[in-house]
């Protein structure tokens, strides 16, 4: 018997006789169970007790509460490694998109204890963060605003590395790094950050230095820089939102990442399923020369607060004011190919503020399932679920063993589950109305507690737990 078959037999199916005397807290009956690790894809009954999956059975189970799941898919809850929206406004929309764990790993925080403390017993979804290199730089620089525009001195670099190591000792899941937002960061500083991460077995989640289609300073150069840093230090690296960095050159980036993987470099990547990126208009991303770097014009930019397309005049006005701009820059065929590529996991990179922002914060996961799986047939349902669950869990589980209990529908795993209708699931958020919730998520559970039930949000369910290294 193969290892996959052994896993399926050992973990995915439990004889009902072992549980017949005591009913489960909750049973999902007769749903299509998809477990991406064992490759189980079959009609089963799932028994939950104490926030944990206790049985996945081919024969019926008894539950204090039984929910009929015929015609529905029962999958692991979706894990978003790149979720900037960490408040309840965002949690509500993330839950309706099937997300059960939303992590802030690109930007991170400069104060892990405070970050976790302010979320305790106050979030619907599981939460966690990295120690953020850019955030730490702002602490160290005499004037925090200089951090984006000035290289660190030798003494400052020592302080930056010490604070990153302190954050990792305090339980940070990873190191976050945004090189494009501080392009003056030296190559040596990048290596020092990677060395700090390597000492703790932590992955560096990096927004690469360049997102351009022109040389020098191309997206390919940016990816090569962090692959080289990973190879020389031993720190794993995760390249965030690859298609919004590579734009039309994304296939080249994916080829290079795949070649590095094949040669033993521990590099992974992710994408979100949209043709536009969003960022701060006053950031270094829009320093002079951005039109040539990205191949864009003012009319390709959309002001998130109003939905208007920009002109040279409004661009300059809003750049002085500051705020979020949406850049329509990624060809549709590039998005489709990147979502389908076996190297990419799915993320959102989302954050809404008072209902304004990019629709990726509300609809990324339902969009993959509805648009790219059902409507476009760009990838299979099982592959899509793997990209949303097992792949992100595996990216973290070596440093954070608790992630071994997520991203799977197996006995002993956390009852973080998403139950959806594959015929109806779809995103509804648009660039004009980014806060519209997704459809088709029938039930979403976090540690066995409903945050969505019968398609409706359970507002009082503040059941999210911290994910951190202990």
Q: What CATH number has the domain bearing residue 22?
A: 2.30.40.10
State whether the Cα torsion 109-114-115-116 is positive or negative: positive
Question: Do 251 and 105 reside in the same domain of the chain?
Answer: yes
pLDDT of residue 143: 80
Question: Do 433 and 348 reside in the same domain of the chain?
Answer: no
pLDDT of residue 230: 98
Question: Do 242 and 154 reside in the same domain of the chain?
Answer: yes
| Structural domain contains residue 306 | no
Question: Do 66 and 93 reside in the same domain of the chain?
Answer: no
Question: Order of strands across the sheet with 175-178?
Answer: 78-80, 99-109, 126-132, 175-178, 204-207, 237-239, 267-271, 344-346
Of 377, 403, 429, the residue at which a domain comes to its end is: 403
Question: Do 203 and 238 reside in the same domain of the chain?
Answer: yes
| Structural domain contains residue 70 | yes
| Structural domain contains residue 433 | yes
| Structural domain contains residue 311 | no
User: What is the domain range of residue 56?
Assistant: 3-76+410-457
Question: Do 135 and 210 reside in the same domain of the chain?
Answer: yes
Residue found by looking up tokens 């955030």 in the block: 135
Question: Do 201 and 337 reside in the same domain of the chain?
Answer: yes
Of 403, 420, 443, the residue at which a domain comes to its end is: 403
Cβ–Cβ < 8 Å for 65, 24: no
Q: What CATH number has the domain bearing residue 199?
A: 3.20.20.140
pLDDT of residue 21: 59
Tokens of 12: 């995915």
Cβ–Cβ < 8 Å for 185, 115: no
Question: Do 391 and 420 reside in the same domain of the chain?
Answer: no
The Cα-based distances of 124 to 103, 105, 162, 312, 365 in angstroms read 13, 18, 33, 42, 17
In the chain, how many domains are there? 2
State whether the Cα torsion 313-351-196-221 is positive or negative: negative
Question: Do 178 and 265 reside in the same domain of the chain?
Answer: yes
Element (H, E) at 63: strand 63-68
| Structural domain contains residue 282 | no
| Structural domain contains residue 307 | no
Low pLDDT (below 70) residues in the chain: 1-21, 144-145
Question: Do 98 and 186 reside in the same domain of the chain?
Answer: yes
| Structural domain contains residue 300 | no
pLDDT of residue 415: 98
Backbone φ and ψ of 348, nearest 5°: -115, -35
Convert the pLDDT of each residue in 275-322 to its tens digit. Answer: 999 999 999 999 999 999 999 999 999 999 999 999 999 999 999 999
| Structural domain contains residue 308 | no
Question: Do 95 and 236 reside in the same domain of the chain?
Answer: yes
Question: Do 9 and 147 reside in the same domain of the chain?
Answer: no
């Amino acid at each position: 018997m193969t290892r996959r078959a052994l896993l399926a037999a050992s973990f995915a199916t439990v004889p009902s006789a072992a549980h017949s005397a005591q009913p489960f807290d909750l049973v999902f009956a007769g749903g299509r169970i998809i477990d991406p690790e064992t490759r189980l894809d079959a009609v089963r009954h799932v028994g939950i007790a104490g926030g944990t999956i206790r049985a996945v059975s081919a024969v019926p189970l008894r539950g204090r509460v039984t929910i009929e799941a015929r015609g529905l898919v029962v999958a692991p809850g979706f894990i978003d490694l790149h979720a900037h929206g960490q408040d309840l406004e965002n949690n509500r929309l993330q839950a309706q998109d099937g997300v059960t764990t939303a992590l802030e790993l690109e930007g991170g925080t400069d104060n892990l204890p405070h970050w976790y403390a302010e979320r305790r017993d106050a979030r619907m979804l599981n939460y966690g963060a990295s120690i953020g290199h850019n955030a730490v730089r702002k602490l160290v620089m005499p004037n925090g605003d200089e951090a984006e525009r000035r290289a660190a001195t030798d003494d400052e670099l020592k302080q930056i590395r010490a604070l990153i190591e302190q954050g990792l000792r305090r339980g940070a899941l990873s190191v976050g790094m945004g090189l494009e937002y501080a392009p003056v960061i030296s190559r040596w500083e990048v290596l020092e950050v990677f060395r700090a991460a390597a000492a703790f077995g932590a992955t560096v989640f990096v927004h690469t230095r360049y997102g351009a289609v022109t040389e020098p300073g191309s997206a390919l150069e940016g990816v090569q820089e962090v692959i080289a840093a990973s190879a020389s230090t031993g720190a794993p690296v995760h390249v965030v939102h690859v298609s919004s960095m590579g734009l039309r050159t994304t296939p080249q980036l994916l080829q290079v990442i795949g070649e590095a993987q094949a040669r033993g470099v521990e590099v992974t990547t992710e994408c979100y399923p949209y043709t536009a990126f969003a960022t701060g208009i006053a950031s270094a991303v829009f320093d002079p020369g951005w039109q040539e770097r990205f191949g864009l014009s003012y009319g390709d930019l959309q002001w998130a607060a109003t939905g208007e397309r920009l002109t040279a005049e409004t661009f300059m006005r809003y750049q002085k004011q500051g705020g979020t701009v949406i850049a329509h820059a990624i060809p549709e065929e590039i998005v489709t190919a990147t979502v389908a590529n076996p190297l990419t996991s799915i993320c959102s990179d989302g954050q809404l503020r008072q209902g304004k922002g990019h629709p990726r914060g509300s609809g990324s996961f339902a969009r993959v399932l509805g648009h790219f799986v059902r409507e476009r047939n760009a990838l299979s349902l099982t592959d899509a679920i793997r990209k949303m669950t097992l792949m992100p869990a595996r990216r973290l589980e070596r440093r954070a063993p608790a992630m071994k209990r997520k991203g799977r529908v197996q006995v002993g795993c956390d009852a973080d589950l998403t139950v959806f209708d594959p015929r109806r699931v779809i995103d509804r958020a648009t660039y004009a109305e980014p806060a519209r919730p997704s459809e088709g998520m029938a039930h979403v559970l976090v540690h066995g507690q409903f945050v969505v039930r019968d398609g409706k949000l359970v507002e009082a369910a503040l059941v999210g737990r911290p994910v951190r290294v202990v």
